Amino acid sequence: MSAPAPSPLAIVDAEPLERQGEVLTDAALAFLAELHHRFTPRRDELLARRAERRAEIARTSTLDFLPETAHIRDDPDWRVAPAPPALEDRRVEITGPTDRKMTINALNSGAKVWLADFEDASAPTWANVIGGQLNLIDAYERRIDFTSPEGKSYALRPDDVLATVVTRPRGWHLDERHLRAADGRPVPGALVDFGLYFFHNARRLLAQGKGPYFYLPKTESHLEARLWNDVFVFAQDHLSLPQGTIRATVLIETITAAYEMDEILYELRDHASGLNAGRWDYLFSIVKNFRDGGPGFVLPDRNAVTMTAPFMRAYTELLVRTCHKRGAHAIGGMAAFIPSRRDPEVNAVAFDKVKADKDREASDGFDGSWVAHPDLVPVARASFDAVLGDRPHQKDRLREDVRVTAAELIDVASLDAKPTHQGLRNAVQVGTRYIEAWLRGLGAVAIFNLMEDAATAEISRSQIWQWVNAGVVFENGEKATADLVRKVAAEELAAIREEVGEDAFAAGKWSQAHDLLLRVALDADYTEFLTLPAYELLG
């Protein structure tokens, strides 16, 4: 068979930005068009398959390991490709959006890896999408600097201490409305973020002794991992690069993916470098998939679901065992605390909690973990240094003691904690404040000394939806109803108005955020991702 005819250039449908021509070259746009032509139809099929699987979960209220892939799980011999030198030691990874200041601070942070985020920590304005690509190119060319409004200057440190970049594109469900193909359809945001970054930086990174490395978000099945692998194979061939140049770490942040960890690594085995345990999106996925599963699936307040909960322990220990059995890195969860400038006692208590969390991860066998702020890098590093010493990882710890059943992964009913009225109020507070910032183009937002991103807003609005639809009765005797949620939301909006002042309130997106939160938390038809309707409101 002859190869498909080349697709025309992708079409830019946006007001031009300064320097965007450096990113949106004819060759880069042609590459995006070809990615869209080859892979968007399969993306569409897999999104439809997600809906079918969700309908099956609604019917059965259960999940199991796939019988048709048992031979992959049972085969003791296969391994993923060895890690490249730049990804051998991943003991501390810092996460954050690709704005100019964060790019400099993350690379300078002392972390081994920076997760450069085009996904949950980035609101996909056109300026953020293109500006983030420019910032990464400028960083690799060492021509990046930044001066804050207060006059503080930022610049890169010497190369030998800079973090290795692992870029996270958007999930498969999001489109990029500003780039359309010849068929008139928007190009998936995942292909835009991946394609532009890979096209412009793959050879540049190889010349620097590193490579194009990626985090893959919100994967729901090994078939979605297979699609990514096929994208990688095509992209490397397109630039005449060796197969295996790309390396990918998959976030196991959906409940369905937790049942397919072996299979996901297998599909990506020539390009895989590890799996990551993402807490908030994982809980969001449990609520989303089992939202009508009855009282046994009702989660308590999000802060009451720690990583020591039995079903969370099952998930994380299975992840470590699976990764190490296959020669892959196991990367732990997020420490989201943002240090206070005014309260050292708050900092001391929080740092102790971070240390305990990272000590647990290191002792469980994880090879590294995430932090959201540079001040947490030395805390996490100390925990992993104590276990690893001079070793880059502990993949030799096979955790053959771990035995996890299908039922244990969804044993939400084993939790003692229950939803509380304060938990409802906190969900409204966090959801409103985060959505307002997102609508202004900010994807990573400090709220109550925690760095919040889209995943925390998702779990907040999903818990409200679940509690209302389950008829939860709080400890004060009040029942979770739509009217109660509207009352709390109105109180919180009034409190925000008083807190920020009339001028700032009027200049913000507070009413839009309030209305959108109520829409995605109270509509009878559950919205799959709040970022889908939010994107329609984004400037």
Q: How many CB atoms lie within 10 A of CB 236?
A: 19
Q: How far apart are CA 537 and CA 539, in angstroms?
A: 6
Please report, for the chain, how many H helices and E strands are present, in that order: 19, 15
Q: How far apart are CA 92 and CA 381, in angstroms?
A: 6
Count of alpha carbons within 13 Å of 61, Cβ hemisphere only? 11
Q: Residue 435 corresponds to which tokens in the numbers above?
A: 């959505």
Q: How far apart are CA 458 and CA 454, in angstroms?
A: 6
Q: What is the CA radius of gyration of the chain?
A: 22
Longest dimension (CA), the chain: 69
Q: How far apart are CA 464 and CA 458, in angstroms?
A: 10
Q: How far apart are CA 180 and CA 188, in angstroms?
A: 9
Distances (CA, A) of 506 to 40, 136, 218, 429, 436: 40, 34, 35, 18, 12
Q: How far apart are CA 37 and CA 21, in angstroms?
A: 23
120: annotated active-site residue: no
User: Is the CB of residue 221 less than 8 Å from the CB of residue 250?
Assistant: no
Collect all residues with Cβ–Cβ distance below 8 Å to 498 and sequence separation of at least 6: none
DSSP state string for 30-73: HHHHHHHHHHHHHHHHHHHHHHHHHHHHHHHS-----GGGHHHH
Tell me which residue has tokens 């035995």. 403
Q: Which of 117, 262, 367, 453 is labelled catalytic? A: 453
453: annotated active-site residue: yes
Nearest to 241 by CA among 273, 270, 274: 270
Strand pairing category for 186-188 and 175-180: antiparallel
Q: Which of 90, 91, 100, 168 is labelled catalytic? A: 168
User: Across the strands, what pairs with 168?
Assistant: 117
Distances (CA, A) of 324 to 21, 275, 319, 328, 486: 44, 10, 9, 6, 48
How deeply is 501 buried, as exposed, middle or buried, from its count of CB atoms within 10 A (0-12, 13-18, 19+)?
Answer: exposed
Catalytic residues: 168, 453
